[in-house]
Amino acid sequence: MGLEIVANRHGLIPGTILAGGTVTAEIDLNGWGIAGLMALDSMTLGTLTFQVAEKAQADGGAYVFLRDESTPNNNYSIGPISGQFALSGVKLAPLIPYRYCKIIVSSAASGLRLALPVKA
Q: Is residue 4 part of a domain?
A: no
Number of domains in the chain: 1
Q: Is residue 58 part of a domain?
A: yes
Output the pLDDT for position 7. Answer: 58
Gap between the Cα atoms of 26 and 50, Å rounded? 11
Structural domain span for residue 89: 10-119
| Segment holding 17, helix H or strand E | strand 10-17
Q: Is residue 65 part of a domain?
A: yes
Gap between the Cα atoms of 43 and 23, Å rounded? 13
Question: pLDDT band at 4, cuts 50/70/90?
Answer: low
Q: Is residue 111 part of a domain?
A: yes
Q: Is residue 74 part of a domain?
A: yes
In this predicted model, what pLDDT tens digit does every residue of 58-89 receive, in sequence order? Answer: 999 999 999 998 887 899 999 999 999 999 99
Mean pLDDT of all residues in 38-55: 94
Q: Is residue 5 part of a domain?
A: no
pTM of the model: 0.88
Q: Is residue 22 part of a domain?
A: yes
CATH code of residue 107: 2.60.120
Q: Is residue 3 part of a domain?
A: no
Mean pLDDT of all residues in 37-54: 94
In this predicted model, what pLDDT tens digit does every residue of 84-119 receive, in sequence order? Answer: 999 999 999 999 999 999 999 998 778 899 999 998
Q: Is 60 left (phi over 0), alpha (psi -120 to 50) or beta?
A: left
1 pLDDT higher than 90? no
Mean pLDDT of all residues in 27-49: 93
